[in-house]
Structures are given as C-alpha cells and as structure tokens.
Amino acid sequence: MSTGFYIGVIAFAVLYFGWMAWEVWRAPVMPDDYGLTDEEKKIWEELDGSKKKTKQTYTIKGKKYKLKERKNEKKV
C-alpha cells in the first residue's frame, strides 16, 4: 500500500478521535442534585427513609411473623 493511504488513515483517525474527545468534553453533565426541586427532594427522602424503617414480615393464617436474619457461618 502506498504512503498516501497510511497518511489518509492516520489523518482520519486523528480527526475522528479529536471529534470524539470534543464531544465528550462538551457533553452536558447531570447536576449533583439531579435537578430535583425541594418538594421532590423531600418526597425522595421520605421514600428512602420508609424503606429503611420497614421490617420484613409475613402472615400465615392471620398470624404475623417477623423475618430473622441468618448468619451464614458454618461450624467446623
């Protein structure tokens, strides 16, 4: 192959990766608060807090039972 072909391929690669770098540099970035309003933040915190506070329970024939955590330790 001729040197002109290799120069063209290298020039194309430089232009392509330069364009990709430019697009990455200029891309919009998500704000730290994800653009939420104060009301949405309050709702989000309430939902997050409710997940932490709930205990897992199940019901058998009308009687409620709490789930216990098991430790996966084997006795040797």
Per-residue confidence (pLDDT) for residue 36, from 0 to 100: 79
Model confidence over 22-62: pLDDT tens digits?
999 998 887 776 777 888 888 888 887 655 555 667 778 87
> What pLDDT band is residue 74 in, cutting at 50, 70 and 90?
low
Please state the domain count of the chain: 1
Flag whether 74 is in a domain.
no
Domain of 22, in residue numbers: 3-66
Give the predicted TM-score (pTM) of the model: 0.41
Residue 72 located in a structural domain? no
State both tokens at 38: 């104060």
Look at residue 48 and tell me if it is in a domain: yes
Predicted local confidence at residue 55, as pLDDT: 61
Residue 57 located in a structural domain: yes
Whose structure tokens read 């330069």? Answer: 18
Distance of CA 2 to the CA centre of its chain: 48
The pLDDT value recorded for residue 34 is 74
Residue 60 to residues 55, 66, 67, Cα–Cα distance (Å): 16, 11, 13
